[in-house]
Amino acid sequence: MSLPEKTPNRCLPPERDTVRFIVRYSLLLLTMLLVGCGKGGAGDSAVKSEAGENPVASDSATVDQPRVVSFKPGPNVQTALQEELILADPNTVIQLEEGVYDLTSGLSLDVEGVTIRGAGMEKTILSFKNQEAGAEGLYITSDRVLVEDLAIVDTKGNGLKSHTANDIVIRRVRAEWTGGPKTSNGAYGIYPVNSTNVLVEECVAIGASDAGIYVGQSKNILIRNCSASYNVAGIEVENCYGGEVVGNTATNNTGGILVFDLPDLPMQRGHDIRVHHNKVFDNNTPNFAPKGNIVGSVVTGTGMMIMANENVEVFENEIRDHNTLNIMVNSYLLTGLAINDEKYYPYPEKIHIHNNTFGRCGDQPGSGGGELFALVLGTPLPDILWDGVFNAEKYGGEDFHPGQLVCIHDNKKDEGEITVASLGGTAVLLDPAKAEVSRDLALFAGEMPPVEPVTIEGSEE
């Protein structure tokens, strides 16, 4: 994937250009109507800066010289900015100057090859504290888009969402709910979904009631050098094919990093995920997810959780100071939720955990699942817990051993020895006394090939 600002201008035939203009202009009229009805809307004229001026660097975009349109905060900036997002041509740079933009409606972009650039995530702040319309702060549905160097705060719903937006780069974006962890906060901070070639790097996510940084149902994704804190899930990869989570810091969430595969979604059997060189610590914030959300089942004090995925490699991470578990590997069956999707495969397979460094965990298990684990295993809980659930038809032979599914080796601990346990299956949900617990690390011995790195053209460090 080439960086969006380097892509050539797309030329449309006259008839398609006319159709595009009609559609966008209709959307513009609708947007102006919605904004005009809200507080702080542009009652009369749409201006692009406080002074009523907005210089354009060039009238036409080329590969070497994109069209640049600059905005400053002001009472009418909402309408002017959304107008540009609707009518922009490919290879346009929308430059948001330093300041706080008070917005009452969500922004949307459906034009390919656009860059939205601020002056820095602490300098250009899109504030949706008084949002009255829209489910997101910024919603993107076009390819080859770059968003960088700005903050999106206090949205009514999600912070930045992109849907079916391939070749997207989200860089140095802060998504935050400034009032701290609350159930009423939006679900997702940074939220790309149903896409191919997704790069999220050097971003910050704080306060999401579901996941701070979430990439779902996507292919070839890279989440790199980000920070997630005070979310229910810090970073979540869900139902994805080919992903890499590297160099991130996840702290003070309910769960630090989640790799999930869920039923009832078009894209299933998530696989080939690398999680490495991350710092995951002190994820002990009480779970504040709205009732009914699947992340509501994440036990407070969980470092990493891998559920129903295949071919996941976890290595060279620092994982410590979790009240419940450093790593949890489990099937969807352990949630106790009904599965109505006949195509869904609920088991984790080929989970490779090696060369990580662990610290304290398990001495103050969180409520719900943590209490159950403590009842069965006592405290402190082990560094790595597998629920012991597997596909007996596939792996039920005499030669089966857990290391074929969950391979654990060459990890170390700050103090003491690495501890592991298997709960022996879902019988633990019916009667904890019937759990067939095993704590033998040798059972998880084995070898697995490394997961292939994710390659996104133009993203090399």
Max intra-chain CA distance, the chain: 78
Six token digits for residue 271 = 């696989």
What is the value of pTM for the model shown? 0.87
What average pLDDT does this structure show over 400-408?
93
Least confident of 201-210, 293-302, 432-441: 432-441
Question: What element of type H or E holds 79?
Answer: helix 77-87
pLDDT tens-digit series, residues 230-276? 999 999 999 999 999 999 999 999 999 999 999 999 999 999 999 99
pLDDT of residue 14: 37
- Residue 21 backbone phi and psi in degrees, to 5: -65, -45
pLDDT of residue 66: 87
User: Whose structure tokens read 């159950």?
Assistant: 372
pLDDT tens-digit series, residues 14-64? 333 443 444 454 444 444 444 343 333 332 223 343 333 443 333 445 556
pLDDT of residue 329: 97
User: Whose structure tokens read 């009523």?
Assistant: 52
Query: What distance in Å separates the CA atoms of residue 412 and residue 313, rounded to the nearest whole number?
Result: 16
pLDDT band at 8 (very low <50, low <70, confident <90, very high): very low
Position 2 pLDDT exceeds 70:
no
Query: What distance in Å separates the CA atoms of residue 233 and residue 256, rounded to the nearest whole number?
Result: 6
pLDDT tens-digit series, residues 423-457? 988 777 777 777 888 999 999 999 999 999 999 98
Between CA 199 and CA 451, with CA 352 as vertex, the angle to 5 degrees is: 45
pLDDT band at 399 (very low <50, low <70, confident <90, very high): confident
pLDDT of residue 16: 35
pLDDT tens-digit series, residues 348-365? 999 999 999 999 999 999
Query: What distance in Å separates the CA atoms of residue 275 and residue 243, rounded to the nearest whole number?
Result: 8
Query: What distance in Å separates the CA atoms of residue 79 and residue 393, rounded to the nearest whole number?
Result: 60
What average pLDDT does this structure show over 149-177?
97
pLDDT of residue 433: 78
pLDDT of residue 62: 56
Higher per-residue pLDDT: 72 or 57: 72
pLDDT band at 461 (very low <50, low <70, confident <90, very high): low
Q: Where are the domains of the chain?
A: 4-339
Which of 2.40.50, 2.60.40, 2.160.20, 3.30.750 is the CATH number of 4-339? 2.160.20
What average pLDDT does this structure show over 375-388?
94
Q: Confirm if 137 and 160 have CB atoms less than 8 A apart.
A: yes
Position 417 pLDDT exceeds 70:
yes
Position 140 pLDDT exceeds 80:
yes
Task: Give the sign of the dihedral formed by CA 181, CA 182, CA 183, CA 185.
Answer: negative
Question: Could you give the 3-state DSSP secondary structure of residue 303?
Answer: strand
Strand partners, 196: 219
Higher per-residue pLDDT: 8 or 87: 87
